[in-house]
Chains A and B, each alone.
Chain A
Amino acid sequence: MAKRHYQKPPNGQAESGSYLLVFDLDDEAQAKAWEVAQELASQRKLKHVLVGMLLAVHTVQEQTGKTLDLLQFMASFITGLIHGRGGGYGGVQITEATEPEELPSMFAGTDDHIDPSDARETFSVGMGNLFGDEDDDELWN
């Protein structure tokens, strides 16, 4: 069998179906990624996860017809994992097709705020003197 001739492709692009990943362990983010990669590799899941992630990029690009900004994609992905859904607007995924009625309430509170200690004193004073002398006659009548 003829030996395949390996030639390093330009700009790091892979041509042979393989790609060598080198993690810079002095870089905090890459060091953390390396730890996860090792864990996944020990479970024989590293390739599966990497392929899944790249497939997700392909699917989104194919369905939206747009080239993804991968930094934005990763940010949305992480936000989605942490908050359950993308975008930080709870159940609403905002797209060009979203109707204004579907948006969450725009009201975000009031601007009438007093001093925090005054609010607490007002609350406590408002209850009256709970432990003062009580007129029992009133209770039995």
Chain B
Amino acid sequence: MIRYKPNKTLIPLTPADANASDFQWELDPTIITWDGGNGTSSAWHLVDGELHYFMLPNVRVPVTGYSMNTDVTTIGLNEMVYADVAGGRFAIGDNVWEQSKYPPETFVNSEERYGSEIHIFMLLCLLAALNAPENTPLTIVTSAPPGLVNSVAKAIKQNLKYGEAKDKTGTWTIQMSYDKKPRSFIIGKVVVVPEGVGAFSAYAYDANGNDVLIPSSDGRDDLLTGQVHIHDAGHGTYDTYAVRNGKLDAESMAFATDRDAGVLRQMIEPVMDYIRDQFLKAGESTPRMKPVQVDAWLREWSLGKMKPNYARVKLNGRILDLQAIFELVSARFSRYIIEEKLERSYQQGADSILLAGGGWVYILPQILKQYPNKNILHPDVVPHLKGIPLWELNAYGALPMSASNKKVNRKVTG
């Protein structure tokens, strides 16, 4: 039986205050950071100085009735994870779209998705996977695209704090397929920040909220002062805005979110068009595909270092070699980002470009080739982010952000 367990990793850098006599962790396990993105949903928390996290593709498949075998055509109970919530029973995880006759649900690229039932469902699955504390108020720190955050923050907070019974208790229950009894989570507090703020914090602070400086290669300056442009290449949106000497540039926030420059529009849709076209040319009917499926293929390819072996997929009884089209859409995405995003940032005077989001994994080598002499921040060049993937920077970074905010406000009020 498949059973979700949190991934665990040591914090990348020992906190600067670890040897202080009054040292204590700023964050306890009840503070959960959550990036409920269009492509994947992931959550992190700190448990006695150890990072626990879990990620799920943003997809579920409804499964009705008592017995899974009557509804799910090709798999048995033991080979998939499903969750029972007030809204029904849903299978989750990669490849569920291949294994059920029901259409997968994703609810992406819409303002209404934030705080929606499926959005909250993904959080509940993550809380269960993390073994988050039950029956005690949790603080959820989450984010939304900067261009939408003002309009969706209230809906996210309200809907989470309403709770399952809409009684404003924030109480939710979920039973995973491997659980013997339901889990009960209480959402006590919800914090919503613009996407990118967590990523900036990941670079700026250690896991206990202490400042971490990032000297430039000549050692004379810090790469987070001056004009820092955050470039968050997500699944559904590409967000860009500026932080000037630590202050968010409100002007740039208003136009930060671009729905045409995310991985979905730039890579997934062209791949789907290409595949349909190839099937048609072969005289076959076009296959049924979902963006979440192609996204999973691309993630697999990137995890396999973009080698041809990882670009082979099965579809409609055929094996497809997608290496060439994956390389082509990556190259085009790279060119588009350089011309439409990065060049503009440099023309506006960016001292540093700060990268976040899974889109970069497909194009980072081309970007670094294009700008060998510019300050481009990504986890591989920052020791205190060693092992933190680009696509997790917003979720992970909300932990240092929270710790720093607690420290700073204690200093202000103390």
Measuring CB to CB, which residues of chain A are less than 8 angstroms from any residue of chain B?
83-85, 88-91, 105, 107-127, 129-132, 134, 136, 139-140
11 contacts between A and B (CB under 8 A): A88-B372, A105-B343, A107-B346, A109-B350, A111-B226, A112-B245, A113-B245, A119-B224, A120-B211, A124-B205, A129-B409
B358-387 interface mask toward A, CB cutoff 8 Å, 1 = contact, 0 = none? 000000000001111111000000000000
Task: Check B346 against A105 for contact (C-beta < 8 Å).
Answer: yes
CA distance A84 to B366 in the complex (A): 9
Task: Check B370 against A90 for contact (C-beta < 8 Å).
Answer: yes
CA distance A91 to B342 in the complex (A): 14
Residues 132-169 of B contacting A (Cβ, < 8 Å) = 139, 141, 154, 157-158, 161, 168
CA distance A125 to B401 in the complex (A): 11
B287 lies within 8 A of chain A by Cβ:
no
B313 lies within 8 A of chain A by Cβ:
no
Which residue of A is nearest B193, CB measured?
Answer: A127
B91-126 interface mask toward A, CB cutoff 8 Å, 1 = contact, 0 = none? 000000000000000000000000000000000000
Task: Check A90 against B371 for contact (C-beta < 8 Å).
Answer: yes
What band does the interface of chain B fall in when counting residues whose beta carbon is under 8 Å from A? 35 or more
Which residue of B is nearest A85, CB measured?
Answer: B369
A139 touches which of B157, B224, B248 (Cβ 8 Å) = B157
Known: A89-B372, A91-B370. 13 other contacts (CB 8 A): A89-B373, A105-B343, A112-B245, A113-B351, A115-B225, A118-B246, A120-B211, A122-B245, A123-B248, A124-B201, A127-B197, A131-B402, A136-B168
B405 lies within 8 A of chain A by Cβ:
yes
B240-273 interface mask toward A, CB cutoff 8 Å, 1 = contact, 0 = none? 0001111110000000000000000000000000
B347 lies within 8 A of chain A by Cβ:
yes
The A interface, classified by DSSP as helix, strand, loop or mixed, is loop
Q: How far is the CB of B139 from chain A (nearest CB, A)?
A: 7
Task: Check A83 against B369 for contact (C-beta < 8 Å).
Answer: yes
A130 touches which of B243, B245, B375, B405 (Cβ 8 Å) = B405
Task: Check B408 against A121 for contact (C-beta < 8 Å).
Answer: yes
Task: Check A109 against B224 for contact (C-beta < 8 Å).
Answer: no
